[in-house]
């Protein structure tokens, strides 16, 4: 018999183990209640971490308490709930617009000790969290680093730095503004202004992002296409031209909005070339699904096919909120009808292409070798 089996036998046959066993058997209700209580406690803990509003409520209860009773474990719990609750509440408003995986729910892993090898192998950065008196600073700091680490996954070193920085700051500003004036001021003083001092393009970029965002094209097209450019050019000589490609793509999206506005006002009809962009890496087209005169989706599918045939590698389809059903039918139609067209992602947009709140979109990739 092995040593461990002997040890187990000695423990189970010891007088105190037998006594505990007998006690449990004679008090089943007590033990069941304790077990149920532990289960409910664990479930509550899970719910607390999953719902931002509950996290915020928890922090509202804990924060006044820990100001009076300086218990470190409670202080850390209050800080964590406060930051996590507020960040997740605001991130929830934008994550449905962003590419999948860029802004998931946030959690904070406290570290007080770890192996040096664990620190080196874990690629996550470590942020210093200051005492409660600096909680607004902690919130801004954590929000920024959380978004910064999630944007453009694996392409962060390839994306032009000013656009990487400006896009994180643009979204971070929305998150931080939801918290209140003090956090906004800290964000502007400690993050926005220093970034502008380093990259003078940032204010102009942020204006451009705002213009595109109000029509659903910032997160819908610009960020996704920028990521696609970086992904496709990463290991080729085209990598050197990414800044130029990005500038041209940005100009196209802005021009498209201008051309569409002119068309709406009756000033000037849109030219066929307004609907697509042909850079050296970025080749995409835009398809706006408008209110149908009939319920047929065929004209849209034909247009999508024509654009793929003309050389577009990606297609962005957009629909207004009140035309969601029809737009979804067009998206499903393209997905099911056009050989070589693969639905990469469907997403929501904060505004539709006419500037009305809410909209939907989808992006397709076209593989010519499968199509032929």
Partner 1 sequence: MMNFFGNRKNSIKAVYEDDLEKYLKSVDLYDKILSKEFQCRFCHTNISLENLEVIIPRGKSIEFICNNKLCLHQA
Q: 38-49 as b/e, with b when 16 or more CB fall inside 10 Å?
A: eeeeeeeeeeeb
Can you say how many angstroms the Cα of residue 16 is from the centroid of all Cα atoms in its chain?
55
Can you say how many angstroms the Cα of residue 300 is from the centroid of all Cα atoms in its chain?
30
Interstrand relation of 357-366 and 341-351 (parallel, antiparallel or unpaired) = antiparallel
Supply the minimum distance, in Å, between the C-beta of residue 302 and partner 1.
Answer: 38
Dihedral pair phi/psi, residue 320, rounded to 5°: -80, 160
* Helix (H) / strand (E) containing 26: helix 15-26
- Helix pair angle (242-265, 223-233), 10° resolution: 150
The residue among 111 and 370 lying less far from partner 1, judged by its C-beta, is: 111
The residue among 156 and 321 lying less far from partner 1, judged by its C-beta, is: 156
The residue among 196 and 270 lying less far from partner 1, judged by its C-beta, is: 196
Contact assessment for residue 349 and residue 361, using Cβ atoms and an 8 Å cutoff: yes
Supply the minimum distance, in Å, between the C-beta of residue 84 and partner 1.
Answer: 10
Supply the minimum distance, in Å, between the C-beta of residue 4 and partner 1.
Answer: 31
Give the number of C-alpha atoms closer than 13 A to the C-alpha of residue 228, restricted to the C-beta side. Answer: 25
SS3 87: helix
Q: 124-133 as b/e, with b when 16 or more CB fall inside 10 Å?
A: eeeeebeebe
Residues that bind partner 1 (CB under 8 A): 46, 49-50, 72, 75-76, 79, 101, 103-116, 119-131, 141-142, 144-146, 148-150, 165, 169, 189-191, 193-195, 197-198
Interstrand relation of 341-351 and 276-278 (parallel, antiparallel or unpaired) = unpaired
Contact assessment for residue 341 and residue 315, using Cβ atoms and an 8 Å cutoff: yes
Supply the minimum distance, in Å, between the C-beta of residue 195 and partner 1.
Answer: 5
Sheet of 276-278: strands edge to edge?
276-278, 283-289, 314-320, 357-366, 341-351
- 182's CB contacts (< 8 A; 6+ apart) are 136
The residue among 184 and 241 lying less far from partner 1, judged by its C-beta, is: 184
Supply the minimum distance, in Å, between the C-beta of residue 48 and partner 1.
Answer: 11
Supply the minimum distance, in Å, between the C-beta of residue 160 and partner 1.
Answer: 14
The residue among 49 and 246 lying less far from partner 1, judged by its C-beta, is: 49
Both tokens of residue 363?
A: 């992006």
Both tokens of residue 121?
A: 């192998």
Supply the minimum distance, in Å, between the C-beta of residue 110 and partner 1.
Answer: 6
Supply the minimum distance, in Å, between the C-beta of residue 107 and partner 1.
Answer: 4
The residue among 103 and 171 lying less far from partner 1, judged by its C-beta, is: 103
The residue among 87 and 230 lying less far from partner 1, judged by its C-beta, is: 87
Contact assessment for residue 219 and residue 98, using Cβ atoms and an 8 Å cutoff: yes
CB atoms within 10 A of CB 138: 23
Contact assessment for residue 85 and residue 53, using Cβ atoms and an 8 Å cutoff: yes
Supply the minimum distance, in Å, between the C-beta of residue 101 and partner 1.
Answer: 7
The residue among 28 and 101 lying less far from partner 1, judged by its C-beta, is: 101
The residue among 138 and 312 lying less far from partner 1, judged by its C-beta, is: 138
Supply the minimum distance, in Å, between the C-beta of residue 210 and partner 1.
Answer: 20
The residue among 91 and 286 lying less far from partner 1, judged by its C-beta, is: 91
């Amino acid at each position: 018999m092995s040593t461990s089996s002997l040890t187990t036998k000695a423990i189970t046959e010891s007088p105190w183990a037998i006594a505990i066993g007998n006690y449990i058997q004679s008090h089943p209700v007590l033990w069941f209640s304790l077990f149920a209580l532990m289960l409910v406690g664990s479930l509550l803990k899970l719910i607390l971490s999953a719902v931002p509003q509950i996290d915020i409520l928890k922090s509202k209860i804990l924060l006044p308490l820990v100001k009076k009773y300086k218990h470190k474990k409670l202080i850390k719990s209050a800080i964590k709930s406060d930051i996590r609750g507020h960040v997740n509440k605001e991130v929830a408003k934008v994550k449905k617009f962003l590419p999948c995986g860029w802004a998931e729910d946030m959690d904070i892993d406290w570290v007080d000790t770890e192996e040096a090898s664990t620190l080196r192998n874990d690629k996550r950065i470590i942020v210093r969290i200051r005492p409660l008196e600096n909680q607004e600073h902690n919130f801004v700091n954590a929000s920024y680093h959380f978004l910064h680490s999630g944007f453009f996954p694996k392409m962060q070193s390839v994306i032009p730095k000013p656009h990487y920085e400006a896009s994180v700051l643009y979204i971070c500003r929305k998150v931080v503004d939801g918290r209140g004036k003090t956090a906004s001021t800290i964000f502007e003083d400690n993050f926005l202004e220093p970034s502008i001092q380093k990259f003078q393009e940032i204010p102009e970029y942020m204006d451009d992002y705002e213009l595109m965002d109000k029509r659903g094209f910032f997160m819908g097209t610009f960020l996704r296409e920028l990521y696609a450019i970086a992904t496709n050019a990463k290991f080729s000589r085209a990598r050197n031209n990414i800044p130029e490609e990005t500038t041209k793509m940005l100009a196209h999206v802005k021009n498209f909005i201008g051309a569409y506005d002119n068309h709406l006002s009756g000033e000037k009809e849109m030219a066929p070339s307004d609907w697509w962009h042909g850079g050296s890496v970025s080749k995409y087209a835009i398809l706006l699904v408008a209110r149908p005169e009939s319920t047929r989706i065929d004209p849209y599918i034909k247009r999508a096919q024509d654009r793929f045939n003309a050389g577009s590698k990606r297609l962005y389809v957009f629909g207004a909120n009140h035309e969601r059903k029809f737009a979804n039918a067009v998206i499903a139609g393209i997905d099911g009808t056009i050989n070589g067209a693969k639905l990469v992602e469907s997403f929501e947009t904060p505004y539709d292409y006419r500037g009305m709140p809410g909209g939907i979109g989808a992006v397709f990739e076209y593989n010519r070798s499968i199509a032929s």
